[in-house]
Amino acid sequence: MRTRRPLAVAHRGDPWAAVENTLDAVRRAVSAGADAIEVDLRCTADGVVVLHHDDDLRRLWGRPESVAALTLAELRDIAPAVPTLREALEAADRIPLLLDTGDPVVATAAHAELGRLGAVAMFCGAAEAMAAVRARDERITLFLSWYGELPPSEGVLGAVRPQYFNPEHRFLSEEAVAHWHARDVLVSCWTVDAADRRGELLAWGVDAIIGNDLNGVVKSCAERAERT
């Protein structure tokens, strides 16, 4: 199972051109030619799935409140640029979103929202959250995010059944890429913003690159496709 062209995946939209995880960032990622757009998910106190990475609003919006402690209306009063998942899907148009969460509750809420909207997306994140989505949907595309040198256990792989193994790029090697391809699993990695490292990873056969330098990622993936 191999992709014809490596996927250029925008990290939190286009965070070098706009505030991450906002509609502006999503639209800019579309314009930049992203093949997919990774966004982070949280749930508000009234159960609405929104785009935001951190537990609280300090880093981006200068407020101490937790997203989970606020209703959507309260969140909109404090940080009106935080979009809902529904709004982000509309802004992405035909470019698929890669929905990132490590929380099984948020993951299943997002999956339910996709069902209500009749929308299609992919998921990435930690094993417990991905297993919760897989239990609901056998066909959905999952990226199993990974955070260390030791590989996931067979139990984890059996519960998630990921189409993509998705570690931090510094834990990848050419041998590891070959190993996952031999298991019929595609390989993605994050967050790659150095052109020389992108070139090395793509030469090894990595199938998707997630990065903040979106123009660079799009260019590297296109150049690799031209050479193969």
Q: What CATH code would you report for 7-227?
A: 3.20.20.190
Residue 3 has a pLDDT of: 54
Q: What are the average pLDDT values for consecutive 10-residue runs of the chain, which has 228 residues?
A: 81 98 98 98 98 98 98 98 98 97 98 98 98 98 95 97 98 97 98 98 98 98 91
Taking the C-alpha atoms of residue 105 and residue 121, their distance in angstroms, rounded to an integer, is 17
The domain segmentation of the chain, as residue ranges, is 7-227
Asked whether 140 and 119 are in contact (CB, 8 A), the reply is no
pLDDT recorded at residue 227: 87
* pLDDT at residue number 67: 98
pLDDT score of 2: 56
Nearest Cα neighbor of 34 from 218, 186, 198, 210 is 218
- Continuous H helices in the chain: 23-32, 58-61, 72-78, 85-92, 104-117, 127-136, 154-160, 174-182, 195-204, 214-227
Q: What is the pTM of this model?
A: 0.97
Amino acid at 97: L
pLDDT number for residue 209 = 98
